């Protein structure tokens, strides 16, 4: 089966938030487009860098009219501290990786997880203290998706390695095109 692509219906999976409430992904894009960031495990230094990018650019995405959600492998206690405050994205837990699989996100081998493309980002993260104990599948790769109000995928980024982050400017441009 081929992974979902731009123009396909976004998979609608039920996940739990950090308080245990069930959230259907489709509820995120009913009112406005949604940006879904799927993170690697929470101890990954590159995940720390990606979280910082999401925090930094989150206001721009909200100003452009998007609902923001971060999907992680958990656990809830650690995931809840990633983002705090009224402007924080919704944090959803997917420890069984159902949504990761539905969106076609792969698992990496040694090269994708710790090879040369990752070294510079990982080094920066380590120097900033962004490393922790692994939680979840350490081989799971990340991804980012933009879903319009009809549930159609408008932007798809599947990470090829741990430090492969989406281009936020391209994502914002696609979001602007939906307005």
Mean pLDDT of 44-64: 92
pTM assigned to the model: 0.93
Q: How confident is the model at residue 130 (pLDDT cuts 50, 70, 90)?
A: low
CB 130 within 8 A of CB 123: no
- Write down the pLDDT at residue 12: 98
- Write down the pLDDT at residue 136: 80
Rounded Cα distance, 130 and 33, in Å:
30
- Write down the pLDDT at residue 10: 98
- Write down the pLDDT at residue 111: 84
CB 35 within 8 A of CB 171: yes
Task: Read off the pLDDT of residues 79-124 as tens digits, 9 standing for 90 and up.
Answer: 888 887 778 899 999 999 999 999 999 999 888 888 888 878 877 8
More confident residue, 166 or 42: 166
Mean pLDDT of 11-15: 98
Residue with tokens 């983002």: 83
CB 141 within 8 A of CB 44: no
Lowest mean pLDDT among 36-40, 45-49, 58-62, 103-107: 45-49
Exposed / middle / buried, residue 121 (Cβ in 10 Å: 0-12, 13-18, 19+): buried
Residue with tokens 């995120």: 28
- Write down the pLDDT at residue 135: 76
More confident residue, 46 or 38: 38
Mean pLDDT of 69-74: 94
Task: Read off the pLDDT of residues 135-179 as tens digits, 9 standing for 90 and up.
Answer: 788 899 999 999 999 999 999 999 999 999 999 999 999 999 997
Mean pLDDT of 12-28: 97
Q: Is 63 helix (H, G, I), strand (E, B) or coil?
A: helix
CB 42 within 8 A of CB 81: no
3-state helix, strand, coil in the chain (%, to 5): 35, 20, 45
């Amino acid at each position: 089966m081929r992974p979902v692509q731009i123009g396909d219906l976004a998979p609608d999976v039920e996940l739990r938030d950090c308080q245990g409430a069930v959230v259907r992904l489709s509820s995120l894009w009913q009112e406005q487009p949604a940006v879904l960031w799927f993170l690697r495990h929470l101890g990954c230094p590159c995940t720390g860098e990606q979280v910082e990018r999401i925090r930094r650019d989150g206001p721009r995405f909200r100003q452009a009219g998007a609902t923001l959600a971060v999907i992680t492998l958990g656990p809830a206690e650690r995931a809840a501290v990633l983002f705090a405050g009224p402007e924080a994205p919704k944090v959803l837990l997917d420890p069984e990786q159902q949504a990761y699989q539905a969106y076609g996100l792969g698992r990496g081998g040694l090269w994708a997880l710790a090879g040369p493309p990752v070294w510079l980002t990982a080094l920066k993260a380590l120097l900033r203290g962004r490393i922790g104990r692994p939680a979840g599948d350490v081989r799971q790769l990340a991804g980012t998706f933009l879903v319009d109000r009809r549930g159609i995928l408008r932007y798809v980024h599947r990470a090829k390695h741990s430090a492969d982050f989406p281009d936020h400017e391209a994502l914002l441009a696609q979001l602007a095109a939906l307005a």
